[in-house]
Amino acid sequence: MSILSLTAVQLGQKIKEKKISVREAVEASQEQIEKLDSTLHCYVTTDAKKALEQAGHIQKKIDEGTLTGPLAGVPVALKDNLCTEGMLTTCSSDILGNFVPTYTAEAVRNLERQGAVILGKTNMDEFAMGSTTETSAYGITRNPWNTDHVPGGSSGGSCAAVAAGECFYALGSDTGGSIRQPSSFCGVTGIKPTYGTVSRYGLIAYGSSLDQIGPVGKDVADCAAILEAIASYDKKDSTSVKRESYDFTSALVDDVKGMKIGIPRDYLGEGLDPEVKSAVLSAAKTLEEKGACVEEFDLSLVEYAIPAYYVIASAEASSNLSRFDGVKYGYRTKEYDGLHSMYKKSRSEGFGPEVKRRIMLGSFVLSSGYYDAYYLKALRTKALIKQAFDKAFQKYDLILGPVAPTTAPKLGKSLADPLKMYLGDIYTISVNLAGLPGMSVPCGTDSKGLPIGLQLIGDCFQEKKIIRAAYAFEQTRSYEGPNLDRVKGGEEA
Amino acid sequence: MSERISDETIEYVGILAKLELSQEEKEQAKIDMGRMLDYIDKLNELDTSGVEPMSHIFPVHNVFREDTVTNGDDSQNMLANAPEKKNGAFKVPKTVE
């Protein structure tokens, strides 16, 4: 059995039992990167030497018995919007093309305390704005299942890297579906935790009221273990929540008897691909056969989530991205005439088209005369959407549905029509508006052989219910990875 | 096609956003923003009278602490990524004649 076929937790166990060394695990990932990443381009930055050095230090601590966690020695990939001290952090943008942070994000520090080995930084949509990883300033990432297709986004590099065995697990961030949608497209498992569960300190901000860091892994057990490692109360994040419990792995129980699961009828209507629909409903049937009570219901307001999201996220982005001005860090234009010209030219040359589009929209909806009509209207809509979920969770333990209306689209088909691309976020976006936890679990493939994701949504702080249902569902099928022998063929095609 | 965004509006938003757009980018921005706003107008179908705008999901309270210094000035780290620096400060173009 090759090292690469192991999950993160299985590898951690083998390292603990001294059957595999940390160095062997790191080298296995690096060989896979060497073999596949010129085609897939999951990474924007790797540091092989540093990772091997780290492997040595961590092996020593494991041998001494000072590192005993389930992920000690397991190699990880980090989305490139997570600050890493001494390692380039670009957000896949030209404006941060030379940015080497002097501090590390809290979620990453939590992993380091558990003995993670960092392989590198993964490609993403520029500033996490996009659904395909095609807005990256450093080139596209290809889907390991079919290299003519996108991996999804914005955490496309992280999800593709896990699927391709170029790391054992990864961190992503989710503002409107950016962990769940690429997890679905790449056939891996990802969690967007309840807002406030994972510290955002050191995560380069996009929409601060929506952003959450979360795990991407091969299976549910990996995701639970990773979430347990990264979640913490952090004074440095003013929206960090002190939770009663940070235990998630005890929810890995194969039992959904009596669990009440609601499927929003509004999630099954027009626009949903019939093959996705059938795979998701068949997953629901499986949970029903295992003893869950499953029924359809009307969630309502689903079509208002996307317009509300784009107002709120763009408004926050226009404010958050005002820090990129060519003064403190990042790119500064070469020729300018005075301070304001320097600001404007640095920003205009440093940001890509999708980022500019959202900064413009955000500046507009926050401008005097439009603030009430757009920004406050969107915040009122958000309150109604939250109420609709509150009502649903009075009746149900979980909400079940598709992650995305389709499987991964072909490369080059999405960016020409931004509005159409935004509509693909319809099932994921309201979860961020309401601050809820959501998870994507593989539930089959379509006739083209592309993976389909099942989404499980819980009430705030109910990650354990999601994990339990996802785990129970997962027991009915075995992990299926992409056929990586085809990856090289895709390059020629 | 939406004509709701005027040249003046695009100029004004460009000033707010601190972006310098080419003529071509401005024309595209007018179309893109117009289309998005047409779509966002869907929110007007909803009656939100009496609904409080929700900026945070959880109640957020001010957190107070003693004003004690716990870190150093960290100026070396602060300046480490500066495009230009001089005498321990960020260097910017001359702003006052």
Closest CA to A473 of A221, A263, A130, A267: A221
- Catalytic residue chosen out of the listed positions A92, A93, A154, A430: A154
In the predicted model, what is the mean pLDDT of residues A326-337? 96
pLDDT digits (tens, 9 = 90+) for A2-50: 999 999 999 999 999 999 999 999 999 999 999 999 999 999 999 999 9
Could you tell me the two tokens for A189? 């498992």
Mutation to test the B interface, candidates A364, A368, A429, A461, most B Cβ within 10 Å: A364
Question: Does the active-site annotation cover A448?
Answer: no
Q: What is the mean pLDDT of residues A357-364?
A: 97
d(CA A86, CA A104): 9
**pLDDT score for B3:** 65
- Among A76, A55, A69, smallest CA distance to A119 is for A76
Short-list A398, A380, A410, CA closest to A264: A398
CB count within 10 Å of CB A87 equals: 20
* Residue B72 predicted with pLDDT over 90: no
- How confident is the model over B39-59, as a mean pLDDT? 94
Residues B97, B80: Cα–Cα separation, whole Å: 29
Contacts of A366 in chain B (CB under 8 A): 16
Per-chain mean pLDDT for chain A: 96
Place of tokens 């996490």: A128
Check if A308 contacts B (Cβ < 8 Å). Answer: yes
A479 belongs to a structural domain? yes
Contact assignment for A361 to B33 by CB distance below 8 Å: yes
pTM here? 0.97
pLDDT at A60: 98
What is the percentage of chain B residues whose pLDDT exceeds 90? Answer: 72
A489 falls in which pLDDT band (50, 70, 90)?
Answer: very low
Distance in Å, alpha carbon of B31 to nearest chain A alpha carbon:
11
The percentage of chain A sitting over the pLDDT mark of 70, rounded to a whole number, equals 99
To the query of whether residue A245 is one of the catalytic residues in this protein, the response is: no
Residue A79 is a catalytic residue: yes
Evaluate whether residue A289 is within a structural domain: no
* ipTM here: 0.94
The answer on pLDDT for B1 being more than 60 is: no
pLDDT at A156 over 50: yes
Q: Is a pLDDT exceeding 60 seen at residue A314?
A: yes
Q: How far is B93 from chain A (nearest CA, A)?
A: 5
Compute the distance between CA of residue A28 and CA of residue A20 in angstroms, rounded to an integer: 11
Residue B29 Cα distances to A230, A313, A356, A477, B36, angstroms: 40, 18, 9, 47, 10
- CA distance linking residue A146 with residue A207, whole number of Å: 31
> What CATH code is carried by the domain that includes residue A178?
3.90.1300.10
Question: Does A262 map to a domain?
Answer: no
A246 touches chain B (CB under 8 A): no
Domains of chain B: 7-45 (1.10.20)
A426 — phi, psi (to 5°)?
Answer: -55, -35
**Sign, CA torsion B30/B36/B42/B43:** negative
Burial of A360-372, coded b for 16+ CB within 10 Å and e otherwise, reads: bbbbbbbbeebee
Q: State phi, psi for B32 to the nearest 5 degrees.
A: -60, -45
- Chain B residue nearest residue A97, CA to CA: B81
Q: At what angle are helices A220-230 and A463-474 packed, to 10 degrees?
A: 160
pLDDT surpassing 80 at residue A492 = no
pLDDT of residue A1: 57
CA distance A146 to B68: 56
Any domain includes A315:
no
Between CA A25 and CA A35 the distance in angstroms is 16
From A336, A360, A361, residue closest to B93, measured CB to CB: A336
**What residue of A is the nearest CA neighbor of B19?**
A344
Residues of B in contact with A311 (CB under 8 A): 40, 43
Q: Would you say residue A294 lies in a domain? A: no
Q: What is the pLDDT of residue A491?
A: 45
3-state secondary structure of A367: coil
- Is residue A430 less than 8 Å (CB to CB) from chain B? no
Calculate mean pLDDT across residues B10-21. Answer: 96
Residue A210 pairs in a beta bridge with none
* Residue A130 within any structural domain of the chain: yes
A213 belongs to a structural domain: yes
- Residue at A420: amino acid letter: K
Residue A178 belongs to what domain range?
3-256+462-492
B89 three-class SS: strand
Which is nearest to A306 in space by CA: A130, A155, A434, A430? A430
Per-residue confidence (pLDDT) for residue B71, from 0 to 100: 84
Helix A353-366 and helix A305-320, axial crossing angle in degrees, nearest 10: 100
For residue A87, CA distances in Å to A80, A90, A193, A211, A302 come to 10, 10, 26, 22, 41
> Are B48 and A434 within 8 A, CB to CB?
no
Q: Are A434 and A389 in contact (CB under 8 A)?
A: yes
A374's CB contacts (< 8 A; 6+ apart) are A311, A364, A365, B37, B40
- Residue B88: pLDDT above 90? yes
The mean pLDDT value for B50-60 works out to 90
Residue A78's φ and ψ, nearest 5 degrees, are -120, 135
Q: Calculate what percentage of chain A has a pLDDT beyond 90.
A: 95
pLDDT tens across A49-93, in order? 999 999 999 999 999 999 999 999 999 999 999 999 999 999 999
A68 located within any domain: yes
Counted across chains A and B, CB pairs separated by less than 8 A come out at 154
Q: How far is CA A430 from CA A141, A426, A486, in A?
A: 26, 8, 36
A447 CB-side CA count, 13 A: 4
CA distance A195 to chain B (A): 8
DSSP letter at A153 equals: S
pLDDT of A248-290, one tens digit each? 999 999 999 999 999 999 999 989 999 999 999 999 999 999 9
Based on the structure, what is the number of domains in chain A? 1
User: What angle (nearest 5°) sits at the alpha carbon of residue A455, between those of residues A248 and A44?
Assistant: 80
Whole-number pLDDT of residue A306: 96
Dist CA A189 CA A224 (whole Å): 10
Distance from C-alpha of A404 to C-alpha of A440, rounded to nearest angstrom:
10
pLDDT 10s digits, A103-144: 999 999 999 999 999 999 999 999 999 999 999 999 999 999
**Could you give the angle at the alpha carbon of A311 between the alpha carbons of A310 and A314, nearest 5°?**
75
